[in-house]
């Protein structure tokens, strides 16, 4: 997901899996570098990804991929092509499939042609043994039909039995929920949640030691990365219904947030996990690169779930990079909240800049109102998510801005060094820029990088 950069070789970098593992490195410079010198000549090593191995050595009792938000469009074929690539690649890396799950927003507008293209591609490329299960998302209502007619079209085109339903596959329970209208934040009625409670009881009575898989398009607020986009109405009732069953693993889509962030999985009373997207990336707001950064349309990710008698392994797949990203998540059974490891407070270690870290002004990108900084990425045990960029007028010491910038952890390869532009400055002014690193859990580095730079004189 890295755009080619001209002339300086900075398109090179490390693969995302290495970066997520906390092994960010920059090759040692052969010569010294001044405080405001150039980093453009520094080589950056690229480390190839290695596939996630079967961590158990045993054959799983159940395997199923999970994807979401594929957004098949009637006016162009890019997302459809990505969907076909997803199916083919999953068939290669996951030759055993007992089920196949799509967690909503199958289409962009719920048009007939979008459904027809979707299902034709699916039938031509699906795994022959996989039971298809689709959830309805808010975009699948955006066709000008009534709610009832939009749901009817979804059911007719996908072959699902209802917008919420319960299946048992290889002795494991799958409970699929359906958002009940086209509201972006999602609607799950008291009636549907009451039905959910009944199904959970049935699943637990069948075997309380086994996981119960629950699927719903919008996330539950205050759970996984991106869950600020979840629903408010009946949120607490929904959460408390699931909270009675620590063996639940809840899968949600909708956010388009990438799988790479460690907060994509959340454990407190049960396990929640986000499912990313097969269409385009979306991210946290308030960053210099924007919520939909450059190259966002390249993102295409999937989960592969392997179920063993005493654990569930959830692998994260970069379809667009044809490789795994990050370590697989492991959820042990029988479920016990006291043994949950992916909790909100699991990371107390702050990121840091290594001894080799440097920051420089990129002089050829300097303008009268902006300065571009280039710097060595910080290190962290899980993920460097952001940088806090503090800009001061050098003469007065007055802070003129404090902004956040993504580490661009979502790119393949992750750029190192990273270049970020600080704009909104005054012409012909000397600034001091100080940089702190933040991880996904907002731990902030104790050390920082500083650089001085002067904007250009405004042209007449």
Alpha-carbon distance of 370 to 266, in angstroms, equals 39
Q: Is the pLDDT of residue 63 over 70?
A: yes
Give the pLDDT band (50/70/90) at residue 15: low
Q: Is the pLDDT of residue 261 over 50?
A: yes
Alpha-carbon distance of 41 to 44, in angstroms, equals 9
- Please provide the DSSP assignment of 90-153 as one string: HHHH----SEEEEES--BSS--HHHHHHHHHHHHHHS-TTPEEEEE--GGGGTTSS-HHHHHHH
**pLDDT score of 76:** 87
**Average pLDDT of 168-175?**
98
Q: Is the pLDDT of residue 24 over 50?
A: no
**Residue 390, Cβ neighbours under 10 Å: how many?**
18
Give the pLDDT band (50/70/90) at residue 57: low
**Average pLDDT of 104-127?**
98
Alpha-carbon distance of 333 to 330, in angstroms, equals 10
Peptide bond into 75 cis (omega under 30): no
**Average pLDDT of 197-210?**
98
Residue ranges of the domains in the chain? 13-47+349-454, 62-339
**Average pLDDT of 392-416?**
96
Q: Which of 266, 304, 306, 299 is nearest to 282 (CA)?
A: 299
**pLDDT score of 257:** 98
Arithmetic mean of pLDDT over the chain:
90
Task: Beginning with the edge strand found earlier in the chain, give each strand of the sheet holding 384-393 in spatial order.
Answer: 399-406, 384-393, 430-439, 449-454
Alpha-carbon distance of 330 to 308, in angstroms, equals 11
Q: Is the pLDDT of residue 45 over 90?
A: no
Q: Which of 314, 315, 316, 276 is nearest to 298 (CA)?
A: 276
Cβ contacts of 307 within 8 Å, gap of 6 or more: 60, 61, 62, 63, 172, 211, 313
Residue 449 forms beta bridges with which residues? Answer: 435
Q: Which of 204, 231, 218, 291 is nearest to 68 (CA)?
A: 218
Fold of 62-339: Purple Acid Phosphatase; chain A, domain 2 (3.60.21)
pLDDT digits (tens, 9 = 90+) for 90-104: 999 999 999 999 999
CATH superfamily placement of domain 13-47+349-454: Immunoglobulins (2.60.40.10)
Residue 384 forms beta bridges with which residues? Answer: 439
* Residue with the larger pLDDT of the pair 269 and 7: 269
The C-alpha angle 430, 423, 297, rounded to 5 degrees, equals 150
Q: Could you tell me if 391 and 422 are in contact, meaning their C-beta atoms sit under 8 angstroms apart?
A: yes
**pLDDT score of 230:** 97
**pLDDT score of 458:** 87
**pLDDT score of 34:** 28
Peptide bond into 426 cis (omega under 30): no
Alpha-carbon distance of 451 to 278, in angstroms, equals 39
* Percent above pLDDT 90 for the chain: 86
Q: Which of 120, 122, 141, 149 is nearest to 133 (CA)?
A: 122
Q: For the chain, what is the total number of helices (H) and then of strands (E)?
A: 6, 22
Q: Is the pLDDT of residue 54 over 80?
A: no
| E strand or H helix that includes residue 82 | helix 78-93
Q: In 3-state terms, what secondary structure has residue 182?
A: coil
**Average pLDDT of 397-426?**
97
**pLDDT score of 36:** 32
Lowest model confidence (mean pLDDT) among 75-79, 221-225, 236-240, 272-276: 75-79
Question: Both tokens of residue 121?
Answer: 């591609």
Question: Both tokens of residue 56?
Answer: 């158990």
Q: Is the pLDDT of residue 26 over 90?
A: no
**pLDDT score of 459:** 77
Question: Both tokens of residue 220?
Answer: 């539950």
Q: Is the pLDDT of residue 404 over 90?
A: yes
CB environment 275-293: b (16+ within 10 A), e (fewer): bbbbbbbbbeeebbbeeeb
What's this model's pTM, rounded to 2 decimal places? 0.89
Cβ contacts of 412 within 8 Å, gap of 6 or more: 1, 2, 15, 16, 318, 320, 321
| E strand or H helix that includes residue 205 | helix 190-206
């Amino acid at each position: 997901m890295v755009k080619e950069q001209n002339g300086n070789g900075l398109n090179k970098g490390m693969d995302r899996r290495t970066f997520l593992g906390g092994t960010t490195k920059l090759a040692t410079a052969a010569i010294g570098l001044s405080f405001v010198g150039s980093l453009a000549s520094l080589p950056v090593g690229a480390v190839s990804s290695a596939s996630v191995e079967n961590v158990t050595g045993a054959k799983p009792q159940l395997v199923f991929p999970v994807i979401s938000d594929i957004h098949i469009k009637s006016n162009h074929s890019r997302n459809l092509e990505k969907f076909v690539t997803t199916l083919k690649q999953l068939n290669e890396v996951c030759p055993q499939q007992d089920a196949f799950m799509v967690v909503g927003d199958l289409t962009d507008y719920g048009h007939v042609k979008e459904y027809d293209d979707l299902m034709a591609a699916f039938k031509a490329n699906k795994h022959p043994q996989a039971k298809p299960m689709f959830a309805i998302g808010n975009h699948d209502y955006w066709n000008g039909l009534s709610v009832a007619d939009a749901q009817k079209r979804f059911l007719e085109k996908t072959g699902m039995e209802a917008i919420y339903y319960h299946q048992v596959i290889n002795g494991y329970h799958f409970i699929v929920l359906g958002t009940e209208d086209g509201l972006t934040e999602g609607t799950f009625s008291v009636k549907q949640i009451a039905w959910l409670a009944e199904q959970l009881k049935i699943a637990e009575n069948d075997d309380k030691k086994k996981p119960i898989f629950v699927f719903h398009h919008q996330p539950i607020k205050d759970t996984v990365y991106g869950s600020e986009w979840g629903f408010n109405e009946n949120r607490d009732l929904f959460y408390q219904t699931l909270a009675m069953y620590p063996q639940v693993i809840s899968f949600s889509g909708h956010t388009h947030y990438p799988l790479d962030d460690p907060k994509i999985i959340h454990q407190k009373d049960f396990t929640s996990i986000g499912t990313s997207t097969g269409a385009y990336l979306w991210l946290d707001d308030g960053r210099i690169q924007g919520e939909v950064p450059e190259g966002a349309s390249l993102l295409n990710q999937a989960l592969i779930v392997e179920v063993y008698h005493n654990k569930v392994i959830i692998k994260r797949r970069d379809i667009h990079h044809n490789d795994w990203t990050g370590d697989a998540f492991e959820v042990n059974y029988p479920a016990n909240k006291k043994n949950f490891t992916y909790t909100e407070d699991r990371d107390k270690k702050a990121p840091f800049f290594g001894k080799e870290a440097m920051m420089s002004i990129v002089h050829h990108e300097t303008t009268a109102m902006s300065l571009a900084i280039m710097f060595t990425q910080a290190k962290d045990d899980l993920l460097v998510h952001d940088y806090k960029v503090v800009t001061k007028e050098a003469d007065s010491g007055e802070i003129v801005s404090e902004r956040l910038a993504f580490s661009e952890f979502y790119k393949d390869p992750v750029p190192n060094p990273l270049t970020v532009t600080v704009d909104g400055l005054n012409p012909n002014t000397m600034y001091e820029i100080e940089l702190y690193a933040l991880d996904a859990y907002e731990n902030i580095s104790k050390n920082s990088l500083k650089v001085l730079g002067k904007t250009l004189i405004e042209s007449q």
